[in-house]
Amino acid sequence: MNKSSARNVKEFCDIRARDAEGRATIVFVPGHEGREYFVFVHRNDVLKVRCNEPGVWGNRDCKGNSNGHICYHALAALEVAAKDQGKTISWCESKADAENLAHLGGKVFHAKSGQGTGEVWGVIRGSKEPAFDLLAWADDLEDIVGWYFATLARSLASHGAETDQQRDKLAQLMAKFPECKDDLLAMFPEAVLAHGRAILRGEDVKEI
């Protein structure tokens, strides 16, 4: 799942059509090397996304959305459609990861490719829903995976991520639970700045 490319282009996307309820149905998404794509969002019994690249010889199916994956153009379009409705999506690697993350607020989100077998899972939240609750998550972790990672989360909740030792704990949590990475980074922006400074100094630091 190419979340980074989706983030890079979503601010340049544009909603071109809506349904009777005002929800986005066609979203323009820029691609690499000046290419242009149109993502069609179909909401029937199952949410499906189609991605086409218009050309001289007519529309072509996006290869990334046709080979067993959901392309980053579709991810960006879904994020833009959600934001337009005052919501945000946190992408997850599996249904199980999405169900675990949804315990902290939001609803499990599922979309399929209309051009292949690809599918994607996430959690969608409204703007008024509670932010990521680190202590509540720690309690869930203790039930799911045991005391070790729960202890790391409680330590971060109590002391932040201002020291190398705390940032190591943050890196361990993000490596173990990639579906929560965006929420954790949003809670500890100082860790991102310190990590960047450490890289500039040439230090050997774990990726966060």
pLDDT digits (tens, 9 = 90+) for 112-170: 999 999 999 988 988 666 567 787 788 888 888 889 999 999 888 878 777 888 888 88
Q: What is the pLDDT of residue 2?
A: 77
Query: Helix, strand or coil for residue 167?
Result: helix
DSSP 131: P
Distance CA 208, CA 186 (A): 12
Q: Name which of 27-36, 56-65, 106-115, 118-127 the model is least confident about.
A: 56-65
Domain ranges of the chain: 3-126, 134-200
Report the phi/psi class of residue 136: left, alpha or beta, with left for phi > 0 and alpha for psi in -120 to 50.
alpha
Q: What is the pLDDT of residue 167?
A: 83
Place of tokens 């080979």: 67
**Cβ atoms within 10 Å, residue 40:** 18
